[in-house]
Amino acid sequence: MTLDEAFVKALVEDYEHAPLAAQDRTMLDYVGQLTRDATRITPAHHERLRAAGFDDRGILQITLIASWFNYINRVADALGVGRGPVEP
């Protein structure tokens, strides 16, 4: 959590150029690939996470949390949550 609006803006616009710790950047790279195409996740992705300091439990937690957010956002999108009434 942060109240640093400039940091949040940098993350939203392009996390690759935001002032992040290397571990955070590695995690976000993994989450980005997971979101774009999880079928292309390889053991090399997990090795990069381990090299950045994440253990198997951390990798599992990152994967579960990112996957859950991807899932629930798709459900909300499909049901029109936040769009207002749908015209017939």
Contact present, 33 and 41 (Cβ < 8 Å): yes
Question: Which pLDDT does position 26 carry in this prediction?
Answer: 97
**12 within a domain of the structure (yes/no):** no
Most confident segment among 17-21, 39-43, 79-83, 84-88: 39-43
Domain containing 59 equals 20-79
Number of domains in the chain: 1
**86 within a domain of the structure (yes/no):** no
Rounded to two decimals, the pTM is 0.82
Q: What digits encode the pLDDT tens for the residues 17-72?
A: 888 999 999 999 999 999 999 999 999 999 999 999 999 999 999 999 999 999 99
**66 within a domain of the structure (yes/no):** yes
**63 within a domain of the structure (yes/no):** yes
**62 within a domain of the structure (yes/no):** yes
80/88 Cα distance (integer angstroms)? 13
Token pair listed for 74: 């798709």
**33 within a domain of the structure (yes/no):** yes
Residue type, 33: Q
